[in-house]
Amino acid sequence: MSYNKANISGVLAHSASTQNVLVIEDEIHIQELIKYNLEKNNYKVTIADNGLEGLNEAFTNVPDVILLDIMLPGLDGLEVCKRLRNNKLTKKIPIIMLTAKSEEFDKVLGLELGADDYITKPFSVKELVARVRARLRRVEEDIVVPAKSDIAGSVIKIGEIEIDKEKYEVRKNGDKISLTLKEFELLHILAENRGKVLTRDFLLDKVWGYDYIGETRTVDVHIRHLRQKIGDDEGSSQLIETIRGVGYRLNESLLE
Ligand code: CA
């Protein structure tokens, strides 16, 4: 596929149906800046001036992506993010937080609460459009969820470790390691998404299921057991990396 100039600058829409962006932001000039530039790129934009209005809009007309300011009158962006993640309708919608440079702490908290990305103000319009586009693309392509029924039987090799999807078996230097089903599924989903940071919430959803009532700490405990069993010690060659305040990532550089 070749790209012409129009594609690169984003003048052409990349899909037939218009995608909806909900912008929850109280500053009028930022609202206008975002609206103008996203509409120019063929997105449909809805503006909400505050958190409650944003939540109402998100639950009524579920958007494809949400741009969420942190400093909002009334409910702040972090609380809005939490409520969006706790609602079935909006649980999966990508959220990009808009933060000021002075809100470093909130940024980490935002990611922990389930935001997917953040943009620091002041931002360039080009960057904003690129991030929105990347998020929407990622929803379709990025996360590979292994289906339990898929027993096509591929073995993933990671250094000395082999993950055998067909037999639900993990081997290290050829010796079988005894893992629980959850530990196996955690390792497998990390391996399938190697190099990508998976949040605790995502892992909880995928491995334990949507209806599981539990804390993200459950994920930490299972990761700890998993590391012990596969002998994954802390250090530069650690296979399962902890991304502080966010989640886990399988170290891609160790893969063969
Ligand atoms: Ca604000």
Mind listing the pLDDT tens digit for each residue in 86-100? 999 999 899 999 988
Helix (H) or strand (E) holding 249: strand 247-250
Q: What are phi and psi of 196, to 5 degrees?
A: -110, 140
CA of 79 to the centre of ligand 1 (A): 14
CA of 101 to the centre of ligand 1 (A): 13
CA of 63 to the centre of ligand 1 (A): 21
Sequence spans of domains, the chain? 5-142, 152-254
CA distance 170 to 230: 9
CA of 38 to the centre of ligand 1 (A): 19
pLDDT for the residue numbered 7: 37
CA distance 227 to 221: 10
Considering the domain 152-254, what is its CATH architecture?
Orthogonal Bundle (1.10)
pLDDT for the residue numbered 60: 94
pLDDT for the residue numbered 214: 64
pLDDT for the residue numbered 111: 76
The whole-number average pLDDT for the span 43-59 is 96
CA of 193 to the centre of ligand 1 (A): 34
23-35 tens-digit pLDDT: 999 999 999 999 9
124-171 tens-digit pLDDT: 888 899 889 888 876 655 455 544 434 345 788 887 888 988 788 899
Pairing of strands 44-48, 20-24: parallel
CA of 70 to the centre of ligand 1 (A): 6
CA of 58 to the centre of ligand 1 (A): 18
CA of 72 to the centre of ligand 1 (A): 5
The pLDDT > 70 percentage for the chain reads 80
CA of 67 to the centre of ligand 1 (A): 12
pLDDT for the residue numbered 10: 37
Sequence-ordered strand ranges (E) for 56-209: 65-69, 95-100, 117-121, 155-158, 161-164, 169-172, 175-177, 198-199
CA of 211 to the centre of ligand 1 (A): 34
Query: Helix, strand or coil for residue 107?
Result: helix
CA of 71 to the centre of ligand 1 (A): 4
The mean of the pLDDT values for the chain is 81
Q: Which CATH superfamily is domain 5-142 in?
A: Response regulator (3.40.50.2300)
Q: Highest mean pLDDT: which of 5-19, 69-83, 209-223?
A: 69-83
| DSSP string covering 47-71 | EESSHHHHHHHHHHS--SEEEEESS
pLDDT for the residue numbered 18: 83
CA of 73 to the centre of ligand 1 (A): 8
